[in-house]
């Protein structure tokens, strides 16, 4: 992969991270660690949405006709009907709604963050880098801190310390390698 494409993808990841941090109003101007956090969180949200080719045949029992295009009024009517069924004590409809597959850009950002050789885990510092990367990823997935601390064999406070410390190390590593990106994005 060329350096230009990689720099472009890193820029996109950082910009999206800053944008999410600004939307959530993290108490002032977001820090580079916040941008890294939201970029990793976006990659962790993309991961489960990847298509599962092995189990795809289970869900392939759909019609070959195109999906019906619903407008806002149809969706609202269906939502109201579902609420009425719930009020009457009936079970909600058992229709499973599949999440749409991620966009190619989202997959490219995820691959950039998780790549074995060029991923962001290479910027981690300390003796137990695999544990720290696992802690960060599990926090981004929204797992409970107590469960993460139990699995990592550390205290809950240590989990938060790992998160803040290592996110700053990743941000510093990205800033050193792609200096112009952080100046533009911030």
In a domain, 171, yes or no: yes
pLDDT at 10: 87
Average pLDDT over residues 110-114: 92
Residue 68 phi/psi, 5-degree rounding, is: -75, 130
Average pLDDT over residues 117-121: 86
pLDDT tier, 38 (very low <50, low <70, confident <90, very high otherwise): very high
Half-sphere exposure of residue 168: CA atoms within 13 angstroms, side-chain side = 6
In a domain, 46, yes or no: yes
Q: Residue 29 above 90 pLDDT?
A: no
In a domain, 56, yes or no: no
In a domain, 10, yes or no: yes
pLDDT tier, 98 (very low <50, low <70, confident <90, very high otherwise): low
Q: Residue 131 above 90 pLDDT?
A: yes
pLDDT at 73: 78
Which residue in 2, 1, 30, 13 sits closest to 120, CA to CA?
Answer: 13
What is the three-class DSSP state of 19? helix
Q: Residue 86 above 70 pLDDT?
A: yes
* pTM beyond 0.85, yes or no: no
Higher pLDDT, 71 or 13: 13
137 lies in which domain range? 3-50+105-185
Please calculate the CA angle 106-108-114 and round it to the nearest 5 degrees: 100
Q: Residue 5 above 80 pLDDT?
A: no
> Do 12 and 174 touch, CB atoms closer than 8 A?
no
> Do 151 and 123 touch, CB atoms closer than 8 A?
no
71-81 pLDDT, tens digit each: 777 777 877 88
The structural domain count of the chain equals 1
In a domain, 180, yes or no: yes
In a domain, 136, yes or no: yes
Q: Residue 57 above 90 pLDDT?
A: no
pLDDT at 67: 55
pLDDT at 183: 59
Higher pLDDT, 69 or 12: 12
Percent of the chain with pLDDT over 70: 78
In a domain, 41, yes or no: yes
Which residue in 138, 130, 126, 131 sits closest to 168, CA to CA?
Answer: 126
**Alpha-carbon gap, residue 98 to 106, rounded angstroms:** 18
Q: Around Cβ 80, how many Cβ atoms within 10 Å?
A: 10
Write b or e for each residue in 118-151: b if 16 or more Cβ atoms lie within 10 A of its Cβ, otherwise e.
Answer: eebbebbeeeeeebbbbbbbbbbeeeebeebbee
134-164 pLDDT, tens digit each: 999 999 999 999 999 999 999 999 999 999 9
**Those residues with Cβ within 8 angstroms of residue 29's Cβ, 6 or more apart along the chain or in another chain:** 186
In a domain, 66, yes or no: no
**Alpha-carbon gap, residue 1 to 12, rounded angstroms:** 16
């Amino acid at each position: 992969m060329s350096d230009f494409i990689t720099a472009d993808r890193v820029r996109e990841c950082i910009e999206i991270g800053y944008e999410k941090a600004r939307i959530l109003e993290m108490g002032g101007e977001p820090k580079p660690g916040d941008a890294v956090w939201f970029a990793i969180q976006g990659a962790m949200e993309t991961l489960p949405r990847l298509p599962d080719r092995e189990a795809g045949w289970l869900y392939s029992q759909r019609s070959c006709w195109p999906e019906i295009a619903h407008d806002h009024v149809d969706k609202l009517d269906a939502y109201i009907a579902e609420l009425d069924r719930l009020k009457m004590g009936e079970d909600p409809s058992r229709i499973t709604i599949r999440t749409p597959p991620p966009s190619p850009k989202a997959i490219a950002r995820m691959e950039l963050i998780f790549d074995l050789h060029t991923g962001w885990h290479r910027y981690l510092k300390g003796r137990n880098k695999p544990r720290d990367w696992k802690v960060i990823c599990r926090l981004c997935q929204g797992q409970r801190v107590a469960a993460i601390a139990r699995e990592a064999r550390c205290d809950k406070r240590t989990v938060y310390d790992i998160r803040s410390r290592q996110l700053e190390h990743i941000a510093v590593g990205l800033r050193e390698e792609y200096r112009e990106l952080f100046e533009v994005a911030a």
